[in-house]
Amino acid sequence: MRAMAFALMVLAGGTAHAQRAAVSADLSPEAAGEAFKQAVVSVCVPAVSGGGVSSLAAAREGKVQPTQDAETRRQSGAAPDETVWDVADARGVVTVREKSARCVVSVYGPATAATVSDATLALLVRGFEAHVGTAGGFTQTLSKTSDGRRVTVQLTGAEPGSPGNQSKFSVVTATVFAVQ
């Protein structure tokens, strides 16, 4: 647990004494992976299927909350025109950002292969089909057509030190989008 708190502190660019209160310091890597999976299947997939995150029960119940926190927005890679949501059970570790029929979930810290695999399985049992590709690594694309809309989920993960990952910790992202 202390390792995860330290990891979050390093990601936030602060010191142990200046850790932001918005970060879930006691969150285990396994719990972060579970919160990521739930955000993909219970927040982003329904959000792009219609109405956005704000229309979901999760938003009304406070399970996801919009944030204007500059560090959270920077860490999530949000553009100025995107809405950023904190996942309440994993504040500062799992974020959702959305913009017009696109929703992105990011998590820092859990095992990359297991997190991608768990999210893939959760989507498969919900009727998504996995695409066979040659991307390699920790990448998986899945899609499902429902009510005339095709929803696609692209899962990508990077271990510390892998090309393109500037973090000292694993990073997993799900980009969910819908097309008519």
pLDDT in tens, 142-161: 999 988 889 999 999 887 76
Instruction: Say what the pLDDT of residue 159 is.
Output: 78
Q: Report pLDDT for 138.
A: 82
Count other C-beta atoms under 10 Å from residue 156's C-beta: 18
50-90 pLDDT per residue, tens: 889 999 999 999 999 999 989 888 888 899 999 999 999 99
CA distance 27 to 33: 10
Give 86-122 pLDDT, tens digit per residue.
999 998 899 999 998 899 999 988 989 999 999 999 9
Taking each helix axis as running N to C, give the angle between helix 112-124 and helix 29-39, from 0 to 180 degrees, rounded to the nearest 10.
30
Supply the pLDDT for residue 114.
93
Residue 137 has pLDDT above 80, yes or no: no
DSSP string, 40-91: IIIIIHHHHTTT-GGGSHHHHTTSEEEE--HHHHHHHT--TTSEEEEEGGGT
pLDDT of 164 reads: 64
Of 121, 146, 171, 139, nearest to 45 by C-alpha is 146
